[in-house]
Chains A and B, each alone.
Chain A
Amino acid sequence: MSSLAFAAEAVTGIPHLAAAVPGADNPHADFSDTPWWLSLVKALLVFVFLLVNTLVVIWFERRVIGRMQQRPGPNRTGPFGLLQTLADGIKLALKEDLTPKNADKVVFALAPMIAGAMAFVSFAIIPMGPMVSMFGHRTPLQLTDTPVAVLLVLAVAGVGVYGIVLAGWSSGSTYPLLGGLRSTAQVISYEIAMGLALVAIFLYSGSMSTSQIVYSQRDLWYILPAFFSFLVYVVTMVGETNRLPFDLAEGEGELTGGFHTEYSSLKFAMFFLGEYVNMFTVSALATTMFLGGWQAPPGIAAINDGMFNHGWWGLLWFVIKLWLFMFFFVWLRGSLPRVRYDQFMRFGWKFLIPVTLAWVVAVAFIRGAQLGYFGNSSVGLAGREFPVATLIIVGLIAALALAVTWVWEGKQAEKQAAAEAQLPEEIDPFAGGYPVPPLPGQRLREPSLAIEKESNRA
């Protein structure tokens, strides 16, 4: 299929999605041949997978950032420095475990437990591969799946916030309190936009079960029909995990360390571990929602009657896609400075939320047209059949989006013109009582005149 026809199909109608199948919102993965002990083994494997990946990604991050900053990064402990994270962990375990005298002792110990434990739970519903044979049973490479699996991820993320806010509050110290509050406000603000971005996926897949969502992407990954959702999700996932450029909770310059300032030893390590496991969870969810989960990339999937979409191959594609997102996280950290807190909150509340809501309405209309809610007539064009209602709706949405950007551009230009017009030609360097540098195109007023003015006022 040529890329043009592929894109046209993405917008104008996806054959297999159009059929309404009753009960299609139930999980697609079949867990009937999975005894309880096998679930326990799989849970242990997921835990080990996350722990090992965290160890590797911390090393990977430091090496890649090192390269980006023209230095080698850690390279002494083990081959290529691979054991660096393990050494850091052992070092942390042998450090003194402090509890400040103002702290609420019980909550202070409880907070890192919540942060560490909740981080692992969401990964249970991530499909990491198709059916495989394990100890003589046919079982999917997924711990569990429910009809509301994605909602479960959002709920667990909500509980994970308790770890942060309780850590900040129980430390009995100013910086952690501020850091904890900031972090909480940040995570919950961006969770709204994240939740709204996912609605478009549910509209296309007709299910909240992750295995069903992966299954319904077998012909077309949702990154194409829901591209805007993907953009919003990528921004919000960085905001959710408190990573640069959105790591305002621990802005070293202003809050020393944020909510974990007072934590030391393995309690601190729990927060650190939780942050990295959360990065894996949001990346895995992005893979599942937008990049077809464990399915092979389009070209490879066609080889040899889909042999690369069976058995353990799925795990390979899943891990590759997961690590693409991890590299993206590291790349962001290597290239972007931290944003200011008010800019961050303004972007979330005043841009992401309304725009994502409008996008959800647009997708609902496109889906309605595809399902034939506005009539079923179609028009032949260049040998292909295009449904009329879908074309009209897509055209209307594009026109509306263009109109909005045009109005917005005009307003921005107006604002800029106003700002430039207001710039006075010469400024008083001591106007506010402290020295102010001149902006480009401004002259300094003669200081002696300013002093004279001051003395006259006195």
Chain B
Amino acid sequence: MTNPYVPLLFLLAIGGGFAVFSVFAASIAGPKRYNRAKLDAYECGIEPTPQAAGGGLRVPIKYYLTAMLFIIFDIESVFLYPFAVAFNQLGLFALVEMVLFIITVFVAYAYVWRRGGLEWD
């Protein structure tokens, strides 16, 4: 086997096939008894709260902020990976560079913290 990613596709195909089969089997195997209330949104038995106009499922802004911060810090950790793997070939220069890089990201982190970007209320 020359390409190491082909077996990965095998496993994806088996797992995906199983998942797709299960989801379709569920719609065939189970009973079907129509009931209007059953198809309403489940809110513990009360009448479902009407949604805002325009299909508005509105979301607290905090989650967008978390997603943005995730991108920043995840990219940081991805930059650290090649550095870590090649560390024993790069020498002292890489160590100094990486400390400088981490300090730079830490400045952004301190800024976000001070501006309250990490607060949950």
**A contact residues vs B (CB 8 Å cutoff):** 20, 22, 25, 27, 31-32, 34-36, 38-40, 42-44, 46-47, 93-102, 109, 112-121, 123-125, 143-146, 151-152, 169, 171-175, 177, 181, 184-185, 188-189, 191-192, 195-196, 199-200, 202-203, 206-208, 256, 261-262, 265-267, 269-270, 341-342, 345-346, 349-350, 353-354, 357, 360-361, 364-365, 367-368, 371, 373-374
Contacts and interface: CB of A to CB of B under 8 A. Distances in A.
B4 A27 contact: yes
Interface residues of B, number: 69
Contact of B15 (A31, A47, A98): A47
Contact of B85 (A145, A177, A208): A208
A350 B92 contact: no
A361 B99 contact: yes
A34 B1 contact: yes
Given A109-B23, A116-B18, A364-B87, A124 B120 contact: no
Contacts of B53: none
Given A20-B88, A192-B77, A36 B22 contact: no
Given A39-B10, A47-B14, A97-B26, A151 B88 contact: no
A267 B19 CA distance: 9
B106 A357 contact: yes
A174 B43 contact: yes
B111 interface: no
A256 B41 CA distance: 12
22 contacts: A25-B85, A32-B1, A39-B6, A100-B40, A100-B42, A113-B20, A117-B15, A118-B15, A119-B15, A121-B12, A143-B11, A144-B7, A177-B57, A177-B59, A199-B81, A256-B44, A262-B42, A265-B26, A265-B30, A367-B87, A368-B95, A373-B92
Q: Quick one: which of B60, B88, B102 has the most chain A CB within 10 A?
A: B88
A207 B85 contact: yes
A444 to B, nearest CB: 30
Contacts of B102: 357, 360-361
Given A22-B89, A100-B41, A109-B23, 11 more contacts: A42-B7, A43-B11, A94-B31, A98-B39, A100-B42, A101-B39, A102-B41, A116-B18, A145-B4, A267-B26, A364-B87
